[in-house]
Amino acid sequence: MEKQTVIVIGAGQMGSGIAQVFAQAGWHVYLNDLQTELIERGLAAIRKNLAHQVEKQKLSSEERDAVLSRLTPSTSLEDAAGAEMVVEAATENMKVKKEIFKQLSGIAPKDVVLATNTSSLPITELAAVTDRPENVIGMHFMNPVPVMKLVEIVRGLVTSDQVYEKVYDTAAALGKTAVEVNDFPGFVSNRVLMPMINEAVYTLYEGVATKEAIDEVMKLGMNHPMGPLTLADFIGLDTCLYIMETLHEGFGDDKYRPCPLLRKYVNAGWLGRKTGRGFYTYE
Ligand SMILES: CC(=O)CC(=O)SCCNC(=O)CCNC(=O)[C@H](O)C(C)(C)COP(=O)(O)OP(=O)(O)OC[C@H]1O[C@@H](n2cnc3c(N)ncnc32)[C@H](O)[C@@H]1OP(=O)(O)O
Ligand SMILES: NC(=O)C1=CN([C@@H]2O[C@H](COP(=O)(O)OP(=O)(O)OC[C@H]3O[C@@H](n4cnc5c(N)ncnc54)[C@H](OP(=O)(O)O)[C@@H]3O)[C@@H](O)[C@H]2O)C=CC1
């Protein structure tokens, strides 16, 4: 198979997971972030995951080394000039993403797929800042990327069939199952998931039960692998808040209003697992 190159923009929990699965599928990967330390943190997470696979004999140490050799740190978007695909996984903020996509227009070759891993933001609006909106598409991986099977593919208003097919085939080659959805706030995944999480936060805020009780009810009663407050910490409370704000603004419906407790925690810098504190505390 011809070796292909992808640039993954944002080396946070999603970007590092996306880089890992591409590299494990044989792609060359530029892992891009603003600072070298952030890329190093992402690479450290990948090394840890690969070490676990070696320990479990799911991967040989030679394969691990080959995967690691396909990962190149990048702090310049100019590296998009040498890629066949871009997957943007920077912070869930329209201003940040528009700036990235605007810059990509001047750098990436014309036929490059410009995919975003956004959780909720409109693909069509993002596409409109580029000189090639037909190449822009949502390629929404789930967290943790190496484990979760789904990729939600989101077509913008003018995404071409060719770009859709390329992303669909790529998801399959990464061992994922793609599901096609249209471009509306939160798509399907977060339109359904995030109001449940937000309601769990309201349940805590209104004193209906303790955080442990709320999580236990949903785990044991509904067979969810994680309770909603544990899951919110896992996703990142900033990301949860941004998604609720996108739903609230996008639909103009108060049923999506973010719980004030969620906003308070984010303002306090309690972003969940990634900062060591959210609804729970972490080592
Ligand atoms: C916000 C959005 O836009 C969209 C989203 O992503 S929403 C979030 C979607 N994700 C979820 O809902 C996740 C819900 N939680 C789960 O499915 C499970 O708790 C879980 C898969 C995370 C962990 O599973 P578990 O059975 O409780 O724990 P554990 O036995 O430790 O892990 C199972 C496997 O996953 C792996 N794993 C767990 N966490 C991992 C991580 N962060 N990265 C890589 N691998 C991981 C483990 O190494 C283990 O692999 P092996 O079987 O090879 O040992
Ligand atoms: N968390 C989740 O469960 C899921 C998240 N997503 C989506 O994936 C994206 C990333 O989320 P996640 O990985 O959790 O977030 P993280 O906060 O873990 O990582 C985001 C990374 O992007 C970096 N970044 C910010 N601006 C830029 C830029 N201009 N260029 C390059 N890198 C930049 C951040 O750096 P710094 O810290 O310095 O700002 C940070 O390292 C978001 O759009 C989110 O909605 C999708 C599915 C699931």
Of 28, 88, 140, 189, the catalytic one is: 140
Q: How far is CA 136 from the centre of its chain?
A: 16
Known catalytic residue at 32: no
Measured from the CB, is residue 188 less than 6 Å from ligand 1?
no
Confidence of residue 2 (pLDDT cuts 50, 70, 90): low
Question: pLDDT for 150-177, tens place per residue?
Answer: 999 999 999 999 999 999 999 999 999 9
Mean pLDDT of 253-267: 98
pLDDT of residue 1: 52
Cβ 103 under 6 angstroms from ligand 2: no
State the distance from the centre of ligand 1 to the C-alpha of 160, rounded, in angstroms. Answer: 33
Q: Does ligand 2 lie within 6 Å of residue 233's CB atom?
A: no
Provide the annotated binding site: 10-15, 33, 92, 97, 119, 143, 274
pLDDT digits (tens, 9 = 90+) for 54-84: 999 999 999 999 999 999 999 999 999 999 9
* Predicted ipTM of the assembly: 0.98
Domain boundaries, the chain: 5-182, 190-273
Interhelix angle 228-235/211-222, rounded to 10 degrees, is: 100
**Comparing C-alpha atoms, which of 269, 279, 176 is closest to residue 226?**
279
CA distance from start to end of the chain: 43
119 is catalytic: yes
Q: Is 160 a catalytic residue?
A: no
CATH superfamily of 190-273: N-(1-d-carboxylethyl)-l-norvaline Dehydrogenase; domain 2 (1.10.1040.10)
Its CATH class, for the domain covering 5-182, is: alpha beta
